[in-house]
Structure 1
Amino acid sequence: MNNSLAPTYQKLIGRMWVLWYSVSNSYSIVDTDFKFLIDSYLKACSKIEFNSILSKEEPNVDIDQITNTIEQYLNNCNIPKVKDVIRTSTFNGKKQTITILYRINNKIVQINYDSELVQKTIHPAIAHYSIKETQLTDIIYDIYLEDDYLFLFEDQQLITSAPKREYHKIQGKFTMLLLCAIHDKVEDDWISTFHGSTLTDGNSSILFAGNSGKGKSTLCALLTTKGFHLLADDVSPMLYKNQDFYFNPAAISIKEGAFKILEKDIQGFDNLPIVKFNKAKGYLKYLPCEHPNKLHYPCFATILVNYKANTTTAVRKVTVKEMLETLIPDSWISPNPDYAKAFLNWLENIEILELTYSDIDSAVQEISNLFKSQYK
């Protein structure tokens, strides 16, 4: 009845339909029954025709209630996202209180911070790339606080700003800028920066996702001691050209609850500095990892990590709905229609799994077996 609300792309993955709406750049996941209602609603020219279609399938339905449900659902899926208001500011060179150089992928990156507090938003995750000697810089970033707003500049040009309580927006934008710089890309080259960590065995990779407290970072840290390499922690970038996942230089962020676990298995972990940025984050350590052999790898599986005390380690297939409800909310995904189509095609062709574990050794074995299975 209102075809303007129709999803731009739709893909059946397993038992669920993934729908993408270009107006809002949003994804929804529905089962086949609800998809039938959506299709019937969009095909019908009137409520009478919609009622006729539904009555053939299920007589005595409440057509008004179903119509209102479908209309509300599609309207919600088509609400454009409100863009952040960027406060403008003229570059202030007097804010360059702390200057640190980093060598990453043969690029010399200079970051100027105005305080130790602002430095904590970026530096701890890339501290292992800092250098002492003076070098000619390839790119310069300035990050400083002014009137309770954080400002991010690239070569003295304002990139973005955010209220200081929304510092994660500055972190996210800086990560994108850094990825573009070290891989010689531009933002429009990327399909997404997924909220998840990616590990490689030197041939392919697996994307690990999971809500806070589910043991994702702990598991990934321990896997790096078992012959696997960290490709990206927390922010995993996927390139449109080849749908490969690319190297992100950030160290693994480890919460205080995992300190004792990792001290037993990771040499030197107890000597890593403790960082406290705010009460919400608590105490953190950042674990640098050995550089992977290559800068990008294809990804053949996504795994939801689910730590449960005193449980048997198990890997099971899960629906795309379960995966995307965890993966999408904190991920950036390009609004480009071609990229959305590529993302759906990628989803259709990977394994979507959940790993439930309490015993680290058996979890590592399951991951090893999964990597090996694709080469048989």
Structure 2
Amino acid sequence: NKDLIFEKIDNINYLIYIKKSEKILIVSKSNLSIIKNYFSKTKDEFEQFLKKKFKLSETVAILGELSQLAKKEKAKSIKTKSVKTPKFSNNFSFKIENCLYTIFHDDSINMNDIFGQLNHLYTNKKSKDQSFKVFTKNNKIYLCFNEEYVGSWEKNNVHFLKGKIISLIINKYHNVREKKWSAFLHGSIVHKSNKSFLIIGNSGSGKTSLATLLVKNGFKLICDDTAPLNNQGFFGHFPNALSIKKAQTGILENYSLNNFYQFNTKTYKGEITYLYPKKNEIFKKFYYCRHIFRVKYNKNSSFRISKSKKYEVLQELINDSFLVRNNESVKSFIEWVKKGEFYDIIYSNEKDVLDFIKKI
């Protein structure tokens, strides 16, 4: 199909990619039929098609919605021809393998969430070869990497800036261009005995706390918060720390965390504790993962597990993650989804989760 990529994901729902607008959504079979007709018919033909099925008011509403779906959204990054970087008094340097990075920044942006993720990799050496420059000008945030302009965002879109920095570091670490990834999913991945598990959930759900407890029980931490999925269906390792909000630290209060590097700081999200395992030997950079746990911690609940409604999980992933918008990447993401096993887990004790993992 020259306009659409689509695939059935359960009995009634389809994941669909509109090539023109680069939008990804989940629709029912009947809505897929309407969208397919919208792109395959002339305007007059499509209006006649709708009038046979719907009232006039419904037809007008559907036409308006489809017109918006077919329209490409404006980029969050603001285009500019050139930008002059100021002098910087603040910097943070870190080293991943043999590559040294430095982030230069001004005082107008709280960068502590990125520095917290990478604090265990800190070095006092500075790099000019791999350098980020972050600054504000005219109430916008600008990002340059290796003296090249990357993008600029409104101040209230600071999370896009920080996501871009992390993705650029991941690209460099794996020597993979962004368009060759399938997605950067919002979740944590742990690995043990040739099995990997992607842990996802809403903010405050206890997903990172569970990942921490699994690491305490011998799992390797592959990545946290940003899980890069390549076009071959494998997740890339990234050595950033687990980040736990103050409200969630109570889940870990009865556990010793001496086997983690710990760093506490105040970010734009509030107080965060960052943890990275002192022993986390990683022998390869990519891991296959088809088990996805959508988790929720409930202190007073018994352990409950059920197969997830795949469309619900995908809706959350699409909203919370960055999916790469090109034909190859979307097809790859769909293939990963088709092979995935999705579970909803409510837990109060990680031992119940460990027992379940042993049975998989």
Question: Would you say same fold, with TM above 0.5?
Answer: yes
Matched, 1:264 2:261: no
Matched, 1:13 2:9: yes
Label 1:152 to 1:42 Cα distance change in 2 as closer, same or farther (>3 A).
closer
The one-letter code matched in structure 1 to 2:265 is V
Partner in structure 1 of residue 116 of structure 2: 124
The one-letter code matched in structure 2 to 1:14 is D
Cα deviation, residue 71, structure 1: 3.2
Partner in structure 2 of residue 292 of structure 1: 282
1:182 is aligned, of 173, 178, 193, to 173
Secondary structure of 1:287 counterpart: strand
Partner in structure 2 of residue 229 of structure 1: 220
Label 1:90 to 1:116 Cα distance change in 2 as closer, same or farther (>3 A).
closer
CA RMSD, 1 decimal: 2.9
Partner in structure 1 of residue 29 of structure 2: 32
Unaligned runs of at least 5 residues, structure 2: none
Contact 1:149 1:163 in 2 (8 A): yes
Label 1:326 to 1:48 Cα distance change in 2 as closer, same or farther (>3 A).
closer
Could you report, residue by residue, the CA deviation over 1:205-228 in whole angstroms, capped at 9, with x for unpaired residues?
222221112111111111111111
Contact 2:100 2:127 in 1 (8 A): yes
Label 1:50 to 1:308 Cα distance change in 2 as closer, same or farther (>3 A).
same
Label 1:177 to 1:364 Cα distance change in 2 as closer, same or farther (>3 A).
same
Secondary structure of 1:131 counterpart: coil
Could you report, residue by residue, the CA deviation over 1:302-348 in whole angstroms, capped at 9, with x for unpaired residues?
22122334222222212221111111112211121121112112211
Contact 2:262 2:276 in 1 (8 A): no
TM-score normalised by L of structure 1: 0.83
Partner in structure 2 of residue 305 of structure 1: 295
Query: How far apart in 2 are the matches of 1:175 and 1:147?
Result: 24
Contact 1:41 1:67 in 2 (8 A): no
Matched, 1:335 2:325: yes
Label 1:65 to 1:148 Cα distance change in 2 as closer, same or farther (>3 A).
closer
Which shifted more, 249-258 or 148-157?
A: 148-157
Query: How far apart in 1 are the matches of 2:46 and 2:164?
Result: 46
Partner in structure 2 of residue 153 of structure 1: 144
Cα deviation, residue 144, structure 1: 2.8
Partner in structure 2 of residue 350 of structure 1: 340
Secondary structure of 1:188 counterpart: helix
Give the 5 Å matches for 1:56-67. 62-64=54-56, 67=59
Query: How far apart in 2 are the matches of 1:284 and 1:9?
Result: 40
Contact 1:191 1:339 in 2 (8 A): yes
User: Would you say how many aligned residue pairs link Structure 1 and Structure 2?
Assistant: 352
Cα deviation, residue 283, structure 1: 1.1
Label 1:270 to 1:301 Cα distance change in 2 as closer, same or farther (>3 A).
closer
Secondary structure of 2:290 counterpart: strand
Query: How far apart in 1 are the matches of 2:40 and 2:22?
Result: 23
Cα deviation, residue 33, structure 1: 4.4
Secondary structure of 1:111 counterpart: strand
Secondary structure of 2:320 counterpart: coil
Cα deviation, residue 182, structure 1: 1.3
Query: How far apart in 1 are the matches of 2:322 and 2:254?
Result: 35
The one-letter code matched in structure 2 to 1:333 is L
Label 1:202 to 1:47 Cα distance change in 2 as closer, same or farther (>3 A).
same
Partner in structure 2 of residue 172 of structure 1: 163
Label 1:73 to 1:355 Cα distance change in 2 as closer, same or farther (>3 A).
farther
Give the 5 Å matches for 1:233-252. 233-240=224-231, 242-252=232-242
Cα deviation, residue 47, structure 1: 5.6
Contact 1:41 1:70 in 2 (8 A): no
1:90 is aligned, of 84, 106, 112, to 84
The one-letter code matched in structure 2 to 1:90 is K
Query: How far apart in 1 are the matches of 2:246 and 2:97?
Result: 30
Matched, 1:195 2:191: no
1:323 is aligned, of 287, 297, 313, to 313
The one-letter code matched in structure 1 to 2:309 is T
Cα deviation, residue 145, structure 1: 3.4
Query: How far apart in 2 are the matches of 1:46 and 1:154?
Result: 47
Secondary structure of 2:282 counterpart: coil
Query: How far apart in 2 are the matches of 1:43 and 1:137?
Result: 52
Query: How far apart in 2 are the matches of 1:229 and 1:11?
Result: 33
Secondary structure of 1:293 counterpart: coil
Which shifted more, 348-357 or 145-154?
A: 145-154
Secondary structure of 1:142 counterpart: strand
TM-score normalised by L of structure 2: 0.86
Matched, 1:80 2:72: yes
Query: How far apart in 2 are the matches of 1:100 and 1:125?
Result: 12
Contact 2:3 2:20 in 1 (8 A): no
Label 1:236 to 1:325 Cα distance change in 2 as closer, same or farther (>3 A).
same
Cα deviation, residue 21, structure 1: 0.8
Unaligned runs of at least 5 residues, structure 1: 55-61
Contact 2:116 2:264 in 1 (8 A): no
Which shifted more, 158-167 or 220-229?
A: 158-167
The one-letter code matched in structure 2 to 1:149 is K
Label 1:40 to 1:186 Cα distance change in 2 as closer, same or farther (>3 A).
closer
Give the 5 Å matches for 1:269-288. 272-278=262-268, 281-288=269-276
